[in-house]
Amino acid sequence: MNMRSTSFVLLIFILCTPSVHTKGLLSSVILEAANSAVSLFTTISDLFQISTEKNELQLLAETLSELKHNLKIGLNSLLIRLEKSIYQNALTRYIDKINSCKKDYFNYVANPSDAAKRNLVKCSDIMESVRPLGNLLSGQRIFDSHPLFDLYKDGEGVCNGSAIESISKNLFADYVIGCTVASTIEAFENGVNTTLYGNECKDTISKVITYMRRLYSDCALPSCKTFHCSVQSLFGEIPPTSSQDLYSKLSEMYPWLNFLVFKLSKRGKVTAGGNFSIGHYDSHWINGYQYDIFFFDAYIQIIKESLNYSIAIEVPEELYDGHYFGNSTMTKIYFNGLTLTTFVGYASENNALCNDTSEYIRECHGTGTSNTLYGKVHIILIFVVLMYVL
């Protein structure tokens, strides 16, 4: 999988570059990796491991501190949502504790005097505030409340993807910063080779990643039904300026889905064939352009090289006005004399998300437009194209 290989490249870089360079690299990579919480957490998990071994945790802490400034939705919005519950009080206390210890920690690393060290050691109980954050992020309840991210599900179980992404990244950054402080103090008190807290944090981080994946797969199914209507209201609020713009807005709303976006200059039919099942929001007309959105599991990436599942998408040649595939790639094929351009790609596994088109709700409240029926596949032509490619 791509994100594993990204972390691997990172690993190599970090092992090979001197610390001065590591810092810039960490920042740029982590800020870039901010696309999806699960891939960000996986990267951070590897970095935490390496940084612990190399005793370079402060670079990671600084990067995470910086990352928090780039997130759209801050923790305040979460605390407001929790209203005046014990839950809110406790969470506020944990976060305040971590923030105050983070300051002492950065003071100490900037100027490791005895006074700064004494000050930092006062945070030796920080794990009592760090641990509950890890529990929340890995789906456990505290104080008999609901799991945290249930706050971001509506009545139909549809998750607010952008809020879950921001809040989880925020809390995760605090969690790992807290782990850094705890490991540092532990090393003062028990010698550099004690890694009790480091190990506890590593275990929890992997639980968080497992939980987030499960959460996203639970979020995915209800969101398929309402996909059309949510996208229509998104279009209503802020029409997309390009295929890429639309892709990034969709990825932010639906971190559990991946997309292929097509833009047409006139109304026309875009169809998909092949044995890879894919969701399709077809023929959305806005501001003089038509957009067609194909959607599938975020863990699947479509590539040009032949794999077990194939997909071929046909677009009327004279209407085609661009596309954006994110990190997927497809081969563009145009036969002289045919009026269709075909994009061919492959996946190693079939998509199981949003593949049941009869489940889609197409009549949306509050929007005037209604959509045409799911495109019928030009099976024969696509078969011909696939044979040509193979």
Which residues contact ligand NAG by CB under 6 A? Answer: 1-3, 35-36, 39, 73, 77, 160, 162-163, 191-193, 275, 277, 298-299, 301, 308-310, 326-327, 348, 352, 355, 386
Q: What one-letter code names the amino acid at 328?
A: S
Judged by beta carbon, residue 148 or residue 264, the one nearer ligand NAG is: 148
Residue 328 C-beta-side C-alpha neighbours within 13 Å:
29
Q: What's the burial of 268, exposed, middle or buried (CB within 10 Å: 0-12/13-18/19+)?
A: middle
Residue 177 is inside which H or E element, if any? helix 161-190
Judged by beta carbon, residue 16 or residue 192, the one nearer ligand NAG is: 192
**Opening angle at CA 62, ends 58 and 64, nearest 5:** 115
CB of 88 to ligand NAG, least distance (A): 15
Strand arrangement, sheet containing 340-347: 271-273, 309-316, 340-347, 331-334
Judged by beta carbon, residue 149 or residue 289, the one nearer ligand NAG is: 149
Residue 325 contacts residue 260 (beta carbons within 8 Å): yes
Judged by beta carbon, residue 265 or residue 357, the one nearer ligand NAG is: 357
Judged by beta carbon, residue 25 or residue 265, the one nearer ligand NAG is: 25
Judged by beta carbon, residue 129 or residue 160, the one nearer ligand NAG is: 160
Residue 311 is inside which H or E element, if any? strand 309-316
CB of 279 to ligand NAG, least distance (A): 10
Q: What one-letter code names the amino acid at 80?
A: I
Longest alpha-carbon distance in the chain? 80
- C-alpha distance from residue 308 to each of 6, 73, 92, 298, 389 (Å): 24, 40, 50, 18, 14
Judged by beta carbon, residue 270 or residue 353, the one nearer ligand NAG is: 353
Residues contacting residue 368 through CB under 8 Å, at least 6 positions apart: none
| Cβ neighbours around 57 below 10 Å, total | 24
Judged by beta carbon, residue 77 or residue 89, the one nearer ligand NAG is: 77
Pairing outcome for strands 309-316 and 340-347 = antiparallel
CB of 26 to ligand NAG, least distance (A): 17
Residue 314 contacts residue 294 (beta carbons within 8 Å): no
Q: What's the burial of 113, exposed, middle or buried (CB within 10 Å: 0-12/13-18/19+)?
A: exposed
Judged by beta carbon, residue 327 or residue 372, the one nearer ligand NAG is: 327
